[in-house]
Structure 1
Amino acid sequence: MKRCLSTALPSRLNILGRDLLFVLCMNTVIAVSLNYGFQTGGTFAHNFLYSQLIGLSIWIFIDVPRVLIWWNDRPRRWPFMCLAVVAVPLGVVLGSWATRELLGLPIKSQAEAGDMLRMCLVVGMLASASMIYFYWSREKLAYLERQAALDALQREESEKQLVRAQLMALQAQIEPHFLFNSLANLDGLIATDPRAARQLLQRLIGFLRMSLQHTRAEQCTLKQEFELLRSYLDIQGMRFGARLAFQIDLPPALAEAEIPPMLIQPLVENAVTHGIEPCMNGGKITLSARDAGDGSVQVIIADTGVGFCQGHSKGSGMGLTHVRERLARIFGATASMQMEENTPRGVVVRVTLPLVRRTDPTLAPVRAPAHGGAPAMATPAVSSS
């Protein structure tokens, strides 16, 4: 309650202060008009005092109730007009009486009083018309501005909700072929090698558990992302055997760099599906990260598969499209993705992101060595060579 009062009081005082400054300026303009335009008689000092006191009286009877009743909201038309009709004659009477008292003017004759009343009414009508126009126009403009700001906030919130839903849908996608192939491989191993089947099942359970955690998070570290990808490549290694080798290289200084979860996984899946799988002799996938300078980190996925010539002959390329969409929606122009030929064959994908480190690191980076054929059980974490 105290907080509300402390913020409301300065707001109302600021409104009254702005209005008072406007009234004083308009009263001065009216005084000059009466003295040199209408030539109502009397000295400029008398006309100035009349204008100021009558205008201030009308302002008090109009603006103070308006602020107390409507505050920052737009006044309703007919209640405000009724307020002005009552305030104008009261302000004229009060301002005229105050002027006579301050100047010590004697009671005038009936003719002089009529002339003075007409002048006061002219002053009052000019002052009230200017104030009513000012208040109504200003409040209408303020109301439209508030409505426009509210509409903009609602649109922005709707866009945020849409983008958030789209990003969650994108990062929640798991390559269905990978799951189907893993389950088919598991079915074959159950009959021929139960121990290997159990090992594959354990790794698949661990991978799905980590994937589920990633889909529920808005950010993860490079270490966590690389651990998930190492688990994925371990499973694929059991499927491809000696046809798939991989190496993961994560410098300790970049282990706590934050990235959107499951951003790199579609690129690694592409390297396996479109690079290694079509290649008769298989190949090697290297996943690494490096400090690219200028406050950015670069993640590199390189494979020695078939390359551009045959690697994209099948598949829809949705993985690359999803990665590009996420980069554009989250980072805009500060992130990029480039693809190029690898040497002697294969593809290299470089993803450059703004470098943001987690302030309270809880995980220490370790190393995943190069693997060939069916890899052994996963080590605790990933680090550099």
Structure 2
Amino acid sequence: MNIDWIAKLRHLLQMTAFCLVIAAIHYAFRPHKPYEIPLVYSLAIGLPSWVLIDFGRHFFPSSRDTGWPEGFSGIALPLVGNVLGFVVGTWFADRWFGFSSWNLADRSQLRISIGITVLSALAMTYFFYSRGKSAWLQAKMTEMRSQASEAQLKLLETQLEPHMLFNTLANLRVLISTDPVRAQEMLDRIIAYLRATLSASRSTLHPLASEFDRLRDYLELMAVRMGPRMAYTLELPDALQDVPVPPLLLQPLVENAIRHGLEPQVQGGHITVRASTRSGPQGPMLVIEVNDTGAGLPATLPTPGPGQSFGLAQVRERLATLHGSQGTLELIAASAGGTSARVTFPLDSSQP
């Protein structure tokens, strides 16, 4: 039986304060009597009741939600504890003052005292019950905050930008009332995308086909936000579908194309993601291109930092880790406008 003695001390102080309030209420009904009498009776009844209930609940199976005994014991414990506390406390106080409460000539005052005691017992029981419930809810909120923080870090790690998700959910809210079928399709893609993203983040490599599937989910979500301003094409030969690649390698390139290429243009543009092979000095090379018809490369590329070429730097670092100098990322200005981001690394060394 594990007891949190700090919590018990806090409960003792709270119970003492509660008894002082009850004594003040008693005194208000009998101002002609010394305050010492209701004070002693209140403490003598309240503290034993608290001890019996707050310590007694540890001897019964308790609910995880409230820390309170489950079933019949949850009702019997406060009932028995309050009755015993009243009897023992009244006996002790009677001995203290040298008279019997049950022989009072003014029976109305006795009924008032019993009534206040009963109401006080109910209030005390509810107080500790609600405190247990509140503590459980607070613990759950802390746990949820911790999980939310971990999820947010995971989203940042995988380059899923929070503002993209929020904008997507805002669009989803509108579609629910205007186009339920399309809203259902969009919700399915959000679920599939998040599930696959979290799953992919736990592995080092996954098939190129899975990478293209994630891109399709992401581009469909972005298409809802941008509407007719964005179109895309994915070209993946059957022979390259099982080629293992790092998870989420291409998404930063697509995000970069949308943010710096399509969004600055009123008319938007088109994104093409294409996988192919070419010969290299040491064998076949896998080439993946992300082409856009957007605004094109600026005269000076922004310095890497938050929101500035961070995704490109991450792609380069991951390629260098896996393939050394043979893994490259090039940004090429397209002759007809737009930009091409080209990833190249050895095809053979990508095989498991």
Deviation sequence 1:140-173 (CA, Å, 0-9, x none):
xxxxxxxxxxxxxxxxxxxxxxxxxxxx998633
| Residue equivalent to 1:227 | 213
Other structure's SS at 2:258 match: helix
Assess if the C-alpha contact under 8 Å between 1:256 and 1:357 holds in 2. no
Q: 1:260 to 1:359 in 2, by over 3 A?
A: closer
Query: How far off is 1:315 after superposition?
Result: 3.5
| Residue equivalent to 1:324 | 316
| Residue equivalent to 1:111 | none
Q: 1:170 to 1:202 in 2, by over 3 A?
A: closer
Deviation sequence 1:54-81 (CA, Å, 0-9, x none):
xxxxxxxxxxxxxxxxxxxxxxxxxxxx
Assess if the C-alpha contact under 8 Å between 1:223 and 1:255 holds in 2. yes
Q: 1:180 to 1:356 in 2, by over 3 A?
A: farther
Q: In structure 2, which of residues 338, 341, 347 is the aligned counterpart of residue 355 of structure 1?
A: 347
Q: 1:356 to 1:214 in 2, by over 3 A?
A: farther
> Do structure 1's residue 278 and structure 2's residue 264 form an aligned pair?
yes
Assess if the C-alpha contact under 8 Å between 1:302 and 1:346 holds in 2. yes
Q: In structure 2, which of residues 169, 182, 202 is the aligned counterpart of residue 216 of structure 1?
A: 202
Q: In structure 2, which of residues 231, 238, 254 is the aligned counterpart of residue 268 of structure 1?
A: 254
Q: In structure 1, which of residues 194, 198, 207 is the aligned counterpart of residue 193 of structure 2?
A: 207
> Do structure 1's residue 335 and structure 2's residue 327 form an aligned pair?
yes
Deviation sequence 1:20-56 (CA, Å, 0-9, x none):
xxxxxxxxxxxxxxxxxxxxxxxxxxxxxxxxxxxxx
Moved over 6 A (4+): 310-314, 357-360
> Do structure 1's residue 172 and structure 2's residue 158 form an aligned pair?
yes
> Do structure 1's residue 195 and structure 2's residue 181 form an aligned pair?
yes
Provide the rounded CA distance (Å) in 1 between the counterparts of 2:301 and 2:227.
23
Q: In structure 1, which of residues 227, 231, 250 is the aligned counterpart of residue 236 of structure 2?
A: 250
* Higher relative contact order (Cα pairs below 8 Å, separated by 6+ residues): 1
Assess if the C-alpha contact under 8 Å between 1:335 and 1:352 holds in 2. yes
Provide the rounded CA distance (Å) in 2 between the counterparts of 1:170 and 1:269.
13
Structure 1-normalised TM-score?
0.47
Q: In structure 2, which of residues 287, 293, 297 is the aligned counterpart of residue 308 of structure 1?
A: 297
The equivalences for 1:70-149 within 5 A come to none
Deviation sequence 1:289-334 (CA, Å, 0-9, x none):
1112222101000000111139978932111111111112222112
| Residue equivalent to 2:245 | 259
Other structure's SS at 1:337 match: strand
Query: How far off is 1:358 after superposition?
Result: 8.2
Q: 1:259 to 1:177 in 2, by over 3 A?
A: same
The residue identity in structure 1 corresponding to 2:329 is M
Deviation sequence 1:229-255 (CA, Å, 0-9, x none):
011111111221211111111111111
Assess if the C-alpha contact under 8 Å between 2:155 and 2:161 holds in 1. no
Assess if the C-alpha contact under 8 Å between 1:339 and 1:349 holds in 2. yes
Assess if the C-alpha contact under 8 Å between 2:229 and 2:268 holds in 1. yes
Provide the rounded CA distance (Å) in 1 between the counterparts of 2:194 and 2:340.
27
Aligned-pair identity in percent equals: 41
Q: 1:357 to 1:322 in 2, by over 3 A?
A: closer
Assess if the C-alpha contact under 8 Å between 1:275 and 1:303 holds in 2. yes
Other structure's SS at 1:292 match: strand
| Residue equivalent to 2:171 | 185
Assess if the C-alpha contact under 8 Å between 2:245 and 2:350 holds in 1. no
Q: 1:339 to 1:207 in 2, by over 3 A?
A: same
Root-mean-square deviation over aligned CA pairs = 2.6
Other structure's SS at 1:308 match: coil
The residue identity in structure 2 corresponding to 1:350 is R
The residue identity in structure 2 corresponding to 1:181 is N
The residue identity in structure 2 corresponding to 1:345 is G
Provide the rounded CA distance (Å) in 2 between the counterparts of 1:344 and 1:336.
24
The equivalences for 1:44-83 within 5 A come to none
Q: 1:202 to 1:312 in 2, by over 3 A?
A: farther
Task: Please list every run of 5 or more consecutive structure 1 residues that lacks an aligned counterpart in the other structure.
Answer: 1-167, 361-385
Structure 2-normalised TM-score?
0.51
Assess if the C-alpha contact under 8 Å between 1:244 and 1:282 holds in 2. yes
Assess if the C-alpha contact under 8 Å between 1:256 and 1:358 holds in 2. no
What is the aligned length? 193
Q: 1:310 to 1:304 in 2, by over 3 A?
A: farther
Query: How far off is 1:185 after superposition?
Result: 1.4
Query: How far off is 1:357 after superposition?
Result: 8.1
| Residue equivalent to 2:80 | none
Provide the rounded CA distance (Å) in 1 between the counterparts of 2:169 and 2:331.
31
